[in-house]
Amino acid sequence: MTVATVETLFTPTRVAMVMNGIGILLAGLVALSLVGMAVITQVYLQSGASPKGAVTLPEWDALSVDEQAHTTPQITILKPLKGLEYELAENLRAFVDLTGPSYEVLFGIADADDPAVSVVKALLADYPEAPLRLIMTTARPGLNPKMLNLQGLEPYIRGELVLVSDANTRPQPDSLKRLAKAFHDPQVGYGCAPFFVRHGQTLGSRLRALHIGSQLVSIIGGVYRLTGIAPIMGKWMVYRRQALQDLGGFAELSHYLAADGLTGQLLSPYGWKGVIIPDLMEISLNHWTVADAWKQLSRWARLMRSLFLFGPLNLLIWNGTFWGLLGLLCLSFGFQPGGIALIGAAIFCWLGLSVIYCWRGGQAFELLLLPLLDWQQITIVIWAYCGNTIAWRDRRFRIGSNARIVDPNHSP
C-alpha cells in the first residue's frame, strides 16, 4: 500500500465520518441497554416468573400443609455470622416466620466469645419452637473465613436446597416460596436473588446503595433474561445439595474469595443450570464508610479482571461522567456529531439511573451523589489494572490463577 493510497483512505473527512459514526453508535447502545435491561429486570421481578409447571404463589396458599411439603423440598438456610452487623437481631428475626416450604436455619459462629452468640441465643429463647439452631463451627485454618464457617455447618445440612444468607440480609415473608418456584426444574443447581440496600446513613453506604439500586440489579436481571446466564451474587445464594457435593463442598470453595461469582463456571461442567430468583433481598450497610465501599468494589474489580480481562469495564457502561468526558474529547478534535451524541448519552445515563433508582425505592436526594459515584467507578477501573492484591477483613491477599486467593506472605 503506497503513501498516496493511505492518504486517500484516511482523509480528514473520512476519519471524521467514522469517528462521528462510532460516537453516535456508542451513544445509542448506551441508551438502549440502560432502558432495555432496566425494563426487562423490573418486569421479571414483578411478574415472579417461574418455570413451566411450577406452583404459583396464589396456588401455593391454597395447598394443605401436607401438599406443600410434597410440592417443594426442604430448605436449609446457612447463616455464617461474625461480629455485630447493623440491626443483626432484626435481620435474624426475619427468618422466624417465613412462609412456604419447610425450612431450618443454622447459625454458624466460629468463636465462642463472638458478640453474635448472645444475639442468637436471645433469638432462640424468644422463639423456642422456631426451626433455628446455633452451631459453633470452631476456627479452621484457611484464607476465606466465611467459607470455612460454612464448611463447619455443612455436616448438619438436612435440606435438598442449601441457602447461604449473609448476616445483613432481610427476606420478605414469602421469599422461600419464590426460591422454591425458581428451583422447580431439577436441572437448576444454583441461583441467587438480586438485592438492594435499605436506606443508608453514611456516605459509603449511600454510594453502594446508589450503585446497586441503579445499576447492579439491572445488570444481574438483564443478563439473565437476555442470555440465560445467571450472574451469582452471594448475599442470597442457593445450591441444590447434589450440586454442592459435585463442587466438593465448601472446602473447595474456600480457596476462592469470590466463590459466588465463580459458581457458574465451576458447576457448568456437571450440567447444572443457574437461575436468578425473581425476588429482591433487603441488605443493610449502614456502618459502611467511603473506604469500606472503595475496598469492596476495588476487590470485586480485580477479581473480575482475573477472570476476564475486560470485566471491570462494565462499571463504565452507564457512567455518565465517562461518556461526557469522551464526548468533550471528541468535540475538542472537531468530531461534533459524535461528541454531541456522547454528551447526550451522558445526560441520558444520569436521568435514566435517577428514574430507575427512585423506581426501586431509593431516596431522591442521594442522586446528588451520582457524579461522585461516577468518579469512584472510573478510578476503580484504573486501579483494577494496576495490581493483583486485595484487602479483605484487615488482611491482604494476592489473586492467583483462576481467581484463587493466595497469602502474599507465602510463596505459591
> Which residues on adjacent β-strands are paired with residue 191?
238, 275
What is the three-class DSSP state of 275?
A: strand
What is the three-class DSSP state of 25?
A: helix
Dihedral over alpha carbons 186, 191, 196, 202 (to 10 degrees): 150
Cell numbers for 137, please give them: 463451627
What pLDDT is attached to residue 412? Answer: 45
Please give the tally of structural domains in the chain. Answer: 1
Supply the range of the domain harboring residue 132.
55-288
Q: Does 204 fall in a domain?
A: yes
What pLDDT is attached to residue 94? Answer: 94
Total Cβ atoms within 10 A of residue 229: 13
Q: Does 237 fall in a domain?
A: yes
What pLDDT is attached to residue 184? Answer: 87
What does the DSSP assignment read for 388-406?
Answer: SEEEETTEEEEE-GGGBEE
Q: How many helices (H) and strands (E) does the chain have?
A: 17, 13
Spatial contact of 299 and 396, defined as CB atoms under 8 Å apart: no
Angle between helix axes 12-47 and 217-227 (nearest 10 degrees) is 90
Q: Does 401 fall in a domain?
A: no
Q: Does 252 fall in a domain?
A: yes
Cell numbers for 394, please give them: 484487615
What pLDDT is attached to residue 295? Answer: 86
pLDDT along the chain (412 residues), means of 10: 54 85 96 95 77 48 58 89 90 92 94 94 95 87 80 95 94 91 92 88 92 94 93 92 93 79 88 94 87 88 86 94 97 95 97 94 92 96 90 76 68 46
Measured CA to CA, the distance from residue 81 to residue 168 in angstroms comes to: 10
Q: Does 175 fall in a domain?
A: yes
What pLDDT is attached to residue 11? Answer: 76
Q: Does 397 fall in a domain?
A: no
Cell numbers for 403, please give them: 481467581
CATH number, residue 139: 3.90.550.10
Cell numbers for 321, please give them: 461522567
Q: Does 311 fall in a domain?
A: no
What is the three-class DSSP state of 379?
A: helix
Q: Does 206 fall in a domain?
A: yes
What pLDDT is attached to residue 71? Answer: 63
